[in-house]
Amino acid sequence: MKSFAVRTSIRATSESIWALLTDAAGYAQWNNSVEKVEGTIALGQRITVRPKIDPGTAFAVTVVGFEPSRRMVWTGGMPLGLFKGERTFTLQPGADGVEFSMREDYTGWLAPLIGALVPDLQPAFDEFARDLKRAAQGA
């Protein structure tokens, strides 16, 4: 199973971080790894993410987990469980504010084949966390 993950401490409230993570229209203002997010980020909603790492590409995902100021899960992929990508955002109280983590896992019968075509997203994950921290801390 291919996966990517990042974790960082953010000196901000979980509510202010959550507000950034759930404001689709605002992503391009604070996040250098995302060109645009279209739709409404809410439980059961389908959104489209346009990453800068692969211009012209759009990923349609569904928000399948939504616990305000705590946890959010986006999934996308192919029918019948052939391929699935799942991104989980987690906010937990930490010693110096909030511990933010983001993880993306690829599963399914075609995961080995499709996963081999997925570029190294770790730099984009690291950039996402840095940008979120900067925006939430007002730096």
pLDDT value of position 131: 97
The structural domains of the chain, ordered by start, are 3-137 (3.30.530.20)
Secondary structure element (H or E) that encloses residue 17, with its range: helix 14-21
At 62-107, the pLDDT tens digits run 999 999 999 999 999 998 989 999 999 999 998 889 999 999 999 9
- Torsions phi, psi of 85, nearest 5? -110, 135
Residue 74 and residue 63 in contact, taking contact as beta carbons nearer than 8 Å: yes
Structure tokens at 17: 């971080």
Confidence of residue 18 (pLDDT cuts 50, 70, 90): very high
Residue 40 and residue 132 in contact, taking contact as beta carbons nearer than 8 Å: no
At 27-66, the pLDDT tens digits run 999 999 999 999 999 999 999 999 887 788 899 999 999 9
pLDDT value of position 54: 78
